[in-house]
Amino acid sequence: MALNETHDLSLTSWVTSANDSATDFPIQNLPVASFRVAGSEQSFRGGVAIGDQIVDLQQLAEKSIFVGLAQDALLACSQEDLNDFMAMGSQAWSALRLALSKALRSDAPEQDIIASCLVAQTDAEFKLPCTIGDYTDFYTSIYHATSVGKLFRPDNPLLPNYKWVPIGYHGRSSSIDVSGQAFHRPCGQTKAPDATEPSFGPCKRLDYELELGIYLGAGNALGDAIAIDDADKHVFGFCLFNDWSARDMQAWEYQPLGPFLAKNFASTVSPWIVSNEALEPYRVAWSRDENDPQPMAYLESEKNRSEGAIDIQLEVLLETEKMRSEGEQAVQLSQSSFKHSYWTVAQMVAHHSVNGCNLKPGDFFGSGTQSGPTHEEAGSLLELSKGGKEAISLPNGETRTFLNDGDNVIMRGYCHKEGHARIGFGEVTSLVLPAKQ
């Protein structure tokens, strides 16, 4: 990946809403999703966001105005799931991005043709953009790991392997759904500290986790490792990811094999995938404290040091049932950045495959909860409420330690820096329903 003409700040679009400085989707972004007109019986198909519109890639493919690899990529995007497009690799992804960028620029000769392929985002509904075969959740924020560790192991918050290994576990892909997901509070076993045996019922400590989702594109053959500097060829793009957690169930069940029912009941992704290429301008240097163990050779490279981190601003907002009924706006709970991650995406890919594990198009990584160095940058209520010991006061007088039924959690993300356009991820929302009993 490298900076190219698609990143040029001076580019504007004939889709005028894309030129608004506050939009998530300027011409420098061009994320993809799977959509259809809301309430219709149309097939889902690929779309690209531009301003407040969506370019219907199936309709555009039928116009045959693109040629070569870009047209081949369009045809792959005409399908309900984008796995085939993901499998085509970075050259195809870049070819389509460049062709769309040129055709959407102000005064582009293709304007009239593409204008006939636009659908307003307000008229659309979304599904998962691809079939997610396997899902691995990492644990890449040392600030989150330390804060949570202090709650359970005050004298030894970080386990010995954390600074050596990009920790992860394999999660459940079947319960991942797209933004707008509403789910019932999970039931399961919990055990109070003073109880002699566990009890069964709805979880009482429901929490969100502010994460990034990483979609894999072209895979690797079983037995072949992906070198750290080749990781970009395999990373298709990024989304916002809320990986819900039932903390009281988790505390009882996680030993000795880790997360299970406390994590597999729901996970929610934003509909748009922001490409790895679109994020190129926002890469920043990654470093490791000189007093910490330095990465092993397969997790180390000059490229990873110079541009392995990405400055993606992330925020969490809460809309309670009372706020909705009284017409009040959601309130921000925290804000952080992905640049604080202890492990980079390239290191995640390299470690996941170093044993010969074969990654496939559409496979999904969770970054782990993204908390920053200050308490206000915590990516979960577990941290913000210090394990439920300190209630969070909301402007309308309500308080929270963990989530109530009727709470709607909203996550947003964006990148911005001098000399480059602001690009956003849209948002991911999900509503907590009462438990089924």
Whether 352 is a known active-site residue: answer no
d(CA 135, CA 149): 24
As a residue count, the chain comes to: 437
What share of the chain has pLDDT > 90, as a percent? 95
> Do 187 and 305 reside in the same domain of the chain?
yes
285-322 pLDDT per residue, tens? 999 999 999 999 999 999 999 999 999 999 999 999 99
User: What is the CATH number for 27?
Assistant: 2.30.30.230
382-416 pLDDT per residue, tens? 999 999 999 999 999 999 999 999 999 999 999 99
224 is in an annotated binding site: no
153 is in an annotated binding site: yes
> Do 144 and 123 reside in the same domain of the chain?
no
> Do 118 and 153 reside in the same domain of the chain?
no
Residue 255 has pLDDT above 90, yes or no: no
* Structure tokens that stand for 260 in this block: 């299970």
> Do 359 and 415 reside in the same domain of the chain?
yes
342 is in an annotated binding site: no
209 is in an annotated binding site: yes
What's the pLDDT score for residue 164? 98
The residue-averaged pLDDT of 367-389 equals 96
23 is in an annotated binding site: no
What share of the chain has pLDDT > 70, as a percent? 100
pTM: 0.97
Number of domains in the chain: 2
CA angle 399, 213, 174 (to 5 degrees): 90
Average pLDDT, the chain: 97
> Do 96 and 186 reside in the same domain of the chain?
no
325-354 pLDDT per residue, tens? 999 999 999 999 999 999 999 999 999 999
> Do 210 and 102 reside in the same domain of the chain?
no
**Region of residue 97 (phi > 0: left; psi between -120 and 50: alpha; otherwise: beta):** alpha
> Do 314 and 404 reside in the same domain of the chain?
yes
- Out of 127, 151, 177, pick the residue that ends a domain: 127
45-86 pLDDT per residue, tens? 999 999 999 999 999 999 999 999 999 999 999 999 999 999
CA atoms in the 13 A half-sphere facing the CB of 337 = 14
Catalytic residue among 144, 340, 351, 352: 144
Residue 437 has pLDDT above 80, yes or no: no
Task: Answer yes or no: are the C-beta atoms of 329 and 323 closer than 8 Å.
Answer: yes
User: What is the CATH number for 408?
Assistant: 3.90.850.10
Q: At what angle do helices 90-104 and 68-77 cross, to 10 degrees?
A: 100
Task: Show the domain range for 63.
Answer: 5-127
Cis peptide before 256 (omega within 30 of 0): yes
> Do 44 and 161 reside in the same domain of the chain?
no
> Do 112 and 51 reside in the same domain of the chain?
yes
> Do 165 and 122 reside in the same domain of the chain?
no
Residue 152 has pLDDT above 90, yes or no: no
In what helix (H) or strand (E) does residue 93 lie, and over which residues does it extend? helix 90-104
d(CA 140, CA 151): 18
> Do 123 and 143 reside in the same domain of the chain?
no
Residue given tokens 């050779």 in the structure block: 297
369 is in an annotated binding site: yes
What's the pLDDT score for residue 42? 96
- Out of 105, 127, 149, pick the residue that ends a domain: 127
Q: Which residue in 311, 303, 291, 200 sits closest to 248, CA to CA?
A: 200
Better pLDDT: 257 or 214 = 214
Task: Answer yes or no: are the C-beta atoms of 378 and 371 closer than 8 Å.
Answer: yes
* Structure tokens that stand for 315 in this block: 């925020």
* Structure tokens that stand for 386 in this block: 């210090």
Q: Band the pLDDT of 154: cuts 50, 70, 90.
A: confident
- Out of 66, 97, 127, pick the residue that ends a domain: 127
> Do 63 and 203 reside in the same domain of the chain?
no
89-142 pLDDT per residue, tens? 999 999 999 999 999 999 999 999 999 999 999 999 999 999 999 999 999 999
